[in-house]
Amino acid sequence: MTSPAYADAGTIPRRYTCEGENVSPPLALAGVPAHTASLALLLQDPDAPRGTFTHWLAWDIDPHTAHLTAGEHPTGAAEGRNGFGRTGYGGPCPPRGDRPHPYVLTVYATDRRPDLAATATPDDLLQALSGHTLATGTLTGWYGR
């Protein structure tokens, strides 16, 4: 997984954060295994003050998805509640004055479509993917304010 907006270990542009347009970054997906039934996305900040904070949780994404444009909700996919209590993407928004935080975006290629409620948590997703993940990819970006 890559993004034309920022390189792995690079700085996330303001546009994709709570201080900008707060839209998901454009993504390119490649190398999806042939027998993939579904893709899932999980964006988390492991350095959040109260523990890992979820910014995006999506599953049941078409395995033939090669690109997502900025702000695009994956067609036909389910999106769970983020740590802000809203469904869908919520951009990086670390506390002012903190050192930059890492934002880890992981894509999972799975051999089945997870059957999850809209209220699913990251733990629910990871449990549903356990033993069914064919491949993963990560993109880590940094952001501070």
Q: Is the pLDDT of residue 9 over 90?
A: yes
The full DSSP string for 69-114 is: -TTPPPTT-EE-B-TTS-BS-----PPTTSPPEEEEEEEEEESS--
Domains, in order of start, for the chain:
10-143 (3.90.280.10)
Pairing mode of beta strands 53-61, 78-79: antiparallel
How far apart, in whole angstroms, are the C-alpha atoms of residue 85 and residue 75? Answer: 22
Q: Residue 120: which of 81, 94, 85 has the closest Cα?
A: 81
Q: Is the pLDDT of residue 75 over 90?
A: no
pLDDT of residue 32: 97
How far apart, in whole angstroms, are the C-alpha atoms of residue 21 and residue 82? Answer: 17
Note the pLDDT tens digit of each residue in 105-124: 999 999 999 999 989 999 99
The helix (run of H) or strand (run of E) holding residue 128 is helix 122-129
